[in-house]
Amino acid sequence: MSRNSASDLSATEELSPSPPEAAAPPRARALVLVGMPGAGKTAIGRRLAARLGLPFRDADAEIEAAAGMPITEIFARYGEPHFRDGERRVITRLLAGPPLVLATGGGAFADAATRAAIKASGATTLWLRCDLPTLLRRVAGREHRPMFLNADPAEVLQRLMAARHPFYAEADVTVTCSDESLETTTRRVQEALEGAVPPRRLAVGLGERGYEVVVGPGLLARAGGLIAPVLPARRVVVVSDAAVAPLHLPALREGLAAAEVKVLAEIAVPPGEASKDFARLQDVLEAMLAAGLDRRTAVVALGGGVVGDLAGFAAAVAMRGVPFVQVPTTLLAQVDSSVGGKTGVNLRAGKNLAGAFHQPRIVLADTDTLATLPPRELRAGYAEVAKHGLLQGPLWDWCERHGAEVIAGDAAALTHAVLESCRLKGAIVAADEREESAEGGRALLNLGHTFGHAIEAEAGFDGSVLHGEAVAVGLGLAAALSARLGHCSQEWPSRVIAHLAACGLPARLADLPRRFALEGLMGRMAKDKKNRDGAMRFVLMRAPGDCFTSSEVPPEAVAALLRDEGAA
């Protein structure tokens, strides 16, 4: 029998079975204030440093001290490129030392190399955002500054705001400032910092095509600043569905606008698996092209797995491939379909039988969006978390202890489930991106899916059986088949089924709201795209964290199991 165990995935970073609250990120080493001239970076920075018990430094003052001359003279003698190079070296030196509060010049964070150095230092960045009238009042009397020499301050500020705001939007925290007192603004800044939850970042290691999965709350509001650095141009088309768009598109729209990311079109498709077909794909492609999409325009998928698969396939074939961003809003999509680059549509013969591998540039998993999911959708998404737990081992133990918290919508449990699922899947994808391993590899992610996809297809993708529900039943059947073939204990299927049932999922064929014909299910599995040389291919289990693929499962054993489970 040909096998490859999930325990052989040495590339997978070890997961902790500890509760979600144990996975808090470390605090930043330093705080860097960015913003326009007149935003109050120095005045606020000094007061904030005193409150936090940290030293304060002003980058411009440090530059003048290092150069032995005013910034005006540095500009006049050597020009801006020389100044920016020195500014970057001074900021890098300061951030390499002990924690501090650092106020930067208005142009520092707009410089790509300096911005990269600040981010690489691990510092928290805070944008003090002010409107034009406020800035004009504050810069009065600063005509000696290089940018204001012999120029209209309003005109200069408007030009600089247009040029710099898109880069300031990449800051970790934004606080809008007004003409209130410095103490009031400082207090609000401190409260914003204390209330900010830094997103977690996971790298999917695919070389030049590698990308990050960013997980955390409030990401839609920061979408522009997060995705702009990885796009060739600040132009996108957004694909969503008619159920998700009213809930989350306004926040995404504002987040993109903050970084001057232009939305050429917002395309909504009907919700549900029925939208994953060639007719809908053509409609989406025609709408994209009519809006002016070119090869530097990115496609942003906002929604669940259906939207991600459809929009991703459209991005893969439009202009022979355009950039793609995943913004999953369901648990199922956040833990599974948004990571790995599988895109596609369904055919009458089965699910996802037409598609392409097209990796996203970034995945933004905003955990706040999960609060809007109906309970049934949340439970369905949890089936994929349980699958990852069965593949990984310690995560299964965590699932048995904390699965009820995930189903109840607990924020910490949801974040942990998304993070660890993406960590596992990202490592597997990095090792076997296109599912080319002879056995095992990425194929292991199909645990429960050979059964599950057959169930979905036989149900006609009509919504009576959700993907996660079909996968849950598939996990129970895979465990039962493994036991019948002697690969695991006879008690193991009961444990898997009991956990899924306790989380409100169907775990047996008889739990579904309709009956299935044995011949139909066997026929679907015979056409599964994962089959090799005409033989059905299953992922089987020995124990949590010890799963393997096999193409040597007797069809009669599968048929007997389905018959015993109630298939007519």
- 320 included as an active-site residue: yes
Q: Which domains does the chain have, with CATH numbers?
A: 31-195 (3.40.50.300), 200-373 (3.40.50.1970), 438-565 (1.20.1090.10)
| Each residue's pLDDT tens digit, 415-471 | 999 999 999 999 999 999 998 887 788 999 999 999 999 999 999 888 899 999 999
Q: Within a 10 A sphere around the Cβ of 399, how many other Cβ atoms? A: 27
Between 251 and 156, where is the model more confident? Answer: 251
Q: Binding residue per annotation — 369?
A: yes
From 115, 276, 423, 467, active-site residue = 467
Structure tokens at 102: 């650092």
Of 423, 442, 484, 487, catalytic: 442
Structure tokens at 408: 């109840």
User: Active site residue: 425, 499, 524, 530, which one?
Assistant: 425
Helix-helix angle 492-502:375-392, to 10 degrees: 150
Catalytic residue among 57, 248, 253, 342: 342
The answer to whether 175 touches 127, Cβ cutoff 8 Å, is yes
Concerning whether 144 is annotated as a catalytic residue, the answer is: no
CA-nearest of 415, 450, 239, 231 to 343 is 239
Please answer whether residues 517 and 568 qualify as being in contact, where contact means their C-beta atoms are separated by less than 8 angstroms: yes
pLDDT category, 139, cuts 50, 70, 90?
confident
Residue 24 has pLDDT above 60, yes or no: no
Is 384 annotated as a binding-site member?
Answer: yes
At residue 176, φ and ψ (nearest 5 deg) are: -85, 125
Active site residue 165: no
Find the mean pLDDT for residues 506-511. 96
- 414-438 per-residue burial string, b: 16 or more CB within 10 A, e: under 16: bbbbbbbbbbbbbbbbbbbbebeee
Catalytic residue among 170, 212, 377, 384: 384
The answer to whether the annotation marks 40 as part of a ligand binding site is yes
Is 467 marked active-site? yes
- The average pLDDT across 226-249 equals 97
Q: Quick one: three-class SS letters along 501-552?
A: HHCCCCCCHHHCCCCCCHHHHHHHHHCCCCCECCECCEEEEEECCEEEEECC
pLDDT, residue 8, reads: 44
Q: Which residue has the tokens 């989380």?
A: 503
Indicate if the pLDDT at residue 227 is higher than 90: yes
Distance (Å, rounded) from C-alpha 396 to C-alpha 229? 36
305 known member of a binding site: yes
Averaged over 384-391, what is the pLDDT?
98
Model confidence pLDDT, tens digit, residues 346-370: 998 888 889 999 999 999 999 999 9
Active site (annotated) includes residue 384: yes
The 10s digit of each residue's pLDDT in 268-319 is 999 998 999 999 999 999 999 999 999 999 999 999 999 999 999 999 999 9
Tell me if residue 442 is catalytic: yes
Q: In angstroms, rounded to a whole number, what is the distance separating the alpha carbons of residues 173 and 126?
A: 5
476 known member of a binding site: no
pLDDT band of 142, cuts 50, 70, 90 = low
Of 14, 320, 436, 556, which is the active-site residue? 320
What lies within 8 Å, CB to CB, of 116 at 6+ separation is none
What are the pLDDT digits (tens) for 476-492?
A: 999 999 999 999 999 99
Q: ∠ at Cα 221 (218, 223), nearest 5°?
A: 105
Tens digit of each residue's pLDDT (9 = 90 or more) over 534-550:
789 999 999 999 999 99
The reply, when asked if residue 106 is annotated as ligand binding, is yes
Given 87, 423, 446, 456, which residue is catalytic? 446
449 assigned ligand-binding residue: yes
452 is in an annotated binding site: no
pLDDT score recorded for residue 141: 67
Check if 435 is active-site: yes
